[in-house]
Structure 1
Amino acid sequence: MASNGETSEDSVAVQNSNFLLNTLDEMEKRVEELRDNAKKMEEERKSLLGSLNTMLQSQALVEVNKGDREELELFIDRLTKRCLTIEITVHIIRSPSQEKSLQTVLKYLHDLIGTIHSNMQQSRQVIERYLNSCITETKGPVDDKFQAALLGCTAEDQKDVRKRLEALWASLERAEKAESSMASAQSTVSSKNTCTSTKANKDVKK
Structure 2
Amino acid sequence: MDVDPIPLTSSSSAHMSSCSLPKIDENNSLDSKTPKERVIELLDVLESHVEKLRKEASQMEEERDQLLSSIDSVRNADVMSDLVESDKDDIHRYADRIMSRCLTVEVKILTQRDSLQEEALHQVNHLINGLIMCVKSDPDYAMAKCSSYMNACSPHVEQGVTDKHFESTLLGCTVDDQKRVKKRLQGLLKYFDKLNNVTSIL
TM-score for both structures, normalised by structure 2 = 0.65
Q: CA offset at residue 68 of structure 1?
A: 2.8
2:112 to 86, 93, 97: 93
Of the candidates 132, 156, 172, which is equivalent to residue 176 of structure 2?
Answer: 156
The aligned runs of 1:1-206 (5 Å cut-off) are 14-53=33-72, 58=76, 60=78, 63-64=81-82, 65-113=84-132, 123-139=142-158, 140-170=160-190, 175=194
How many residues in Structure 1 have an aligned counterpart in Structure 2? 170
Question: Which of structures 1 and 2 has the bigger CA Rg?
Answer: 1
Q: Secondary structure at the match of 1:14?
A: coil
Higher-helix-fraction structure:
1
How many angstroms does 1:118 deviate by?
8.1
Please report the TM-score for the alignment, with normalisation by the length of structure 1.
0.64
Structure number with the bigger relative contact order (C-alpha 8 A, sep ≥ 6) is: 1
How high is the sequence identity, in percent, across the aligned residues? 31
Mapped to 2, the partners of 1:39 and 1:127 lie a distance apart of: 24
**Which sections of structure 2, spanning at least 5 residues, go unmatched?**
1-29
After the TM superposition, which of the residue ranges 85-94 and 124-133 deviates more from structure 2? 124-133
Q: In structure 1, how many angstroms separate the alpha carbons of the residues matched to 2:80 and 2:31? A: 74
Q: 1:165 to 1:54 in 2, by over 3 A?
A: farther
Which residue identity does 2:186 align to in structure 1?
E
The AA in structure 1 aligned to 2:144 is: Q
TM-superposed CA distance for 1:157, in Å, is 0.6
Name the amino acid aligned to 2:89: E
CA distance 1:110–1:47, shift in 2 (3 Å):
farther
Relative to structure 1, is the Cα distance of residues 48 and 130 closer, same or farther in structure 2, using a 3 angstrom cutoff?
farther
